[in-house]
Structure 1
Amino acid sequence: MPTPLLLCITGRQAYDLRRHLFLTQAEFWSKIGITQSGGSRYERGREMAPQLQYLLHLAYGSDEEASELLRWLRQPAESR
C-alpha cells in the first residue's frame, strides 16, 4: 500500500487549511493538542514532524482519508 498523500506537510499548508476552514489558530491547533503559540510557530516555518502531519490528517481529513492513513499506519513497518 503506497504512502497516503497527507493534507499538511508544511506549516504553510496548515495555515492555508486553517484559513479555508475559517478557524482561529487556537481553534485549529487545540483539536490536536497544540497551543496557539505552538501552532503559530509551525505556520511561520517550524518543521512539522511526521506524527504531527498524521494528526492533522486524521483531525481534518475526510473519513475516507483518515481510514486510509490508519490502514497504512497499522501495516508492519517493513511493509511500508
Structure 2
Amino acid sequence: MTHADTETLEEIVGDLSDLPDSASGAKHLIWWGNIGFMLIEGTGLALAAAAYLYLMTQSSAWPQYGHAPPAWCGARSSPPDWF
C-alpha cells in the first residue's frame, strides 16, 4: 500500500467506541427474524382457514361423505389403538 492509500483508509475509519455492545428489541436482527416467521406462519394459517371455509361453502353436506381411507394409512385408528 502506498502512503496515499493509507491516508484514505484513515479518513474512512471512525471511532466506534460510542456504539452499544449489543442491541435489543426492534434493533436486533433476531427480533425481525421472529416477526417474519410469525407473519409467514400466520399467513399459512389464514390460507388454511380460507380454504376450509371455501370448501365448506361448495359442499351440500359438511363434513363431506365419501369413501373411507384404507386401513393401512392409520386414518381409522387413534393413537391409543397403536399400542
Higher relative contact order (CA 8 A, sep 6+): 1
TM-score (normalised: structure 1):
0.18
Q: Compare CA radii of gyration and give the structure with the larger one.
A: 2
TM-score (normalised: structure 2):
0.18
